[in-house]
Structure 1
């Protein structure tokens, strides 16, 4: 059994959904399908989810929302008519939207339910189209599938009982189409997952049914070893380990949100990233283990939008509880950190800019200075993080030297470096303005010009 997930670009139009139908029909092992909401058809288009968010804001603020609703329904109507499936599907979608709007729910619960209507509608359309092309297929709501989640709207987490509930789906002989992005709380309320929600659903379902393979169809042939917007025609990655993919996705790779694949990883289910527009391409396989290669580096990822808090105090290393007190201050101010490279008398805390707001900055500086009696406390903004990723690099001679030489050639100063005992990645902090030069030089060093 294979679980197949199709992203927003794969269900953005009738033409794309026809490709989806062909992909499912071509392989009888593709038994469970997870879909996103219709995405953009072109660069100037609007995603259905964004349209629903606009609708939700207007409705909850008692503003006129009919124009938003009309645009949403028109988009679905175009897809349904071009697919030549019954208009009763459109009536069902409109009924579902009006039902959510009219139900007596809190604003928070209602807004989450409105956001999820895109995926729900997409699943109904895809299941009906699969029937239209002769397949035995049915829509199944996440509640009926057994996807139970925590009561954290927009940040829902899967509950353990979901996996045994989902395993029962193996008994079904038909193709099941499940909307991604949301589940249901024990109280019966809909709650959405965080960013990358449909990928999370696909991974959860694959883990629950213990699929032989989880295929994630998107609009690229494979994962590239570096951002193709920075390096022309970069090398494609044919095989990755789970750890490598997590490091890459954390640091700016846009194929997956870094937490999306954890359920599949936990069950050691292989994942294939494939292209809806070119399904014959082998894509990228993500596996638990792979054979060691001479060039252990598989990819170079980068992301901007970081700041660092630099703390210096003489004999910091001898002061019991210094680290605990420092991180307690961050916890009190609701700030999570990314990295914490340190020396004997100093430490740097890497934080995403959206965590270290201008309002929190003076509070943090004051508390660290006063409560920890630090000699120096300063904040450095406009940082970028680069991750050089590959399993086994801690036992491969010369990997770090290549990186530092490449950054020197690019005339980029290293603000900080962090590898420690990691066998999967090296992290470099640099000024954001040098990010493109740094990535190009690192790519040439590890993969050749």
Structure 2
């Protein structure tokens, strides 16, 4: 039994939906279909989710929303007419879109989520109708009815553990169930979305809940590449990754799969495969608990920017009991999340996402660390990138760090920091952002011995 999820680019047009139908019909084990909202048909097009955001802003600003409504409805109308579906489906979707502008604004913490979720919800209705018309016994099912009950955290919903018992009951369905991704329902019946890109999370939750044998995530690429194809020319695709390797790569900028989507499938021990809607015969990339064959030391290289570092120095820091806790408490009180903490005996660096450090918070940190903790020096370093060299088999291979640092040195790339966790799944290098692409190319060439990095 398989759960299959389609991303927005796979569902952007009638032509794409015909491919989706063929994929689902080709395998009777594909019994659960999780869908995103329609994506872009071309680079100049607008995603339905983005159109819904504009609609929400117009509505809450008390502007006329007719154009917003028509733009969204016409996206569905074009697909419905080309597929020859009943006009009643369009009427149902149009009513759902226009009814959004009747919802209360004041005191409605879930209004934005309700607007955004309409993209996936209405697309699922359309797709279920299309499947049914073409011989598949398919049925749309709302996440609330399916049992996807979530915490009351708008824009950052978390699945409640009790949901999995309800989801497991869906196993007995004889129909292909089409479930909108990206959102769940709170205990109080409110629409609440996962973080952006959360249809991947929905697919993973459903796969874990129904105890699927496989979770297939269909997108617009042939799996996952060993480096970003926008940086390295034609990098090779990865046949197999472990969940831990994928988590490291997703964290450092691999956007094929939402990193939070790994958690439910990982905990449910569900194998996952990334496949291409436009090339479904390609094997794609499998994500597994453990490598099924001998793996190469490095499976991928990723880079991500927009990091800052708070560099702290204090003489005899290592002898001061509780110093690290006090520093982190300052960040906690300011609601700041940290990413990495490389340390020395008298030095401590705290690496953050740039978005965490507003000017007001930055000034408060400087004040508290100098006045209350008596640090000798403190510096905020900006324009940093993180490069991750990832591979679970690195721990069994001598010289990986030497190969990496030599490759960077040969390209005159200065290392700000190096860090490696005890699991040895990855090596992290912190460098200046203006050297990020050169660093990824140098590391790719060093580990994969190819001219493609030139």
Q: What's the TM-score once normalised by structure 1's chain length?
A: 0.98
Q: Secondary structure at the match of 1:348?
A: strand
1:260-317, Cα deviation, whole Å (9 max, x unpaired) = 1210000110001000000000000000001464631000011000000000111111
- Long gaps (5+) in structure 1: none
Report the counterpart of residue 71 of structure 1 in structure 2: 71
**Alignment map for 1:44-443 (pairs within 5 Å):** 44-104=44-104, 106-291=107-292, 293=294, 295-443=296-444
Kept in 2, the 8 Å contact 1:226–1:300? The answer is: yes
Kept in 2, the 8 Å contact 1:292–1:392? The answer is: no
Q: Distance in 2 between matches of 1:295 and 1:415?
A: 27
Q: Distance in 1 between matches of 2:403 and 2:294?
A: 17
Kept in 2, the 8 Å contact 1:151–1:185? The answer is: yes
1:69-95, Cα deviation, whole Å (9 max, x unpaired) = 011111110010001111111111112
C-alpha deviation, 1:107, in angstroms: 3.6
C-alpha deviation, 1:371, in angstroms: 1.4
C-alpha deviation, 1:358, in angstroms: 2.0
Cα RMSD of the aligned pairs, angstroms, is 1.1
Q: Distance in 2 between matches of 1:148 and 1:443?
A: 43
Kept in 2, the 8 Å contact 1:2–1:31? The answer is: yes
**Alignment map for 1:19-38 (pairs within 5 Å):** 19-38=19-38
How many residue pairs are counted as aligned between the two chains?
A: 449
Moved more, 115-124 or 363-372: 363-372
1:204–1:420 CA distance, 2 compared to 1 (3 A): closer
Kept in 2, the 8 Å contact 1:157–1:193? The answer is: yes
Q: Secondary structure at the match of 1:203?
A: helix
Q: Distance in 2 between matches of 1:72 and 1:420?
A: 47
1:168-222, Cα deviation, whole Å (9 max, x unpaired) = 0001000000000110101111101112210000000000000000000000011
C-alpha deviation, 1:60, in angstroms: 1.3
Report the counterpart of residue 13 of structure 2 in structure 1: 13
Q: What's the TM-score once normalised by structure 2's chain length?
A: 0.97
C-alpha deviation, 1:254, in angstroms: 0.7
C-alpha deviation, 1:256, in angstroms: 1.4
Kept in 2, the 8 Å contact 1:394–1:421? The answer is: no
Q: Distance in 2 between matches of 1:7 and 1:108?
A: 27
Q: Distance in 1 between matches of 2:434 and 2:448?
A: 23
Q: Distance in 2 between matches of 1:94 and 1:135?
A: 25
Q: Distance in 2 between matches of 1:230 and 1:189?
A: 42
C-alpha deviation, 1:422, in angstroms: 2.9
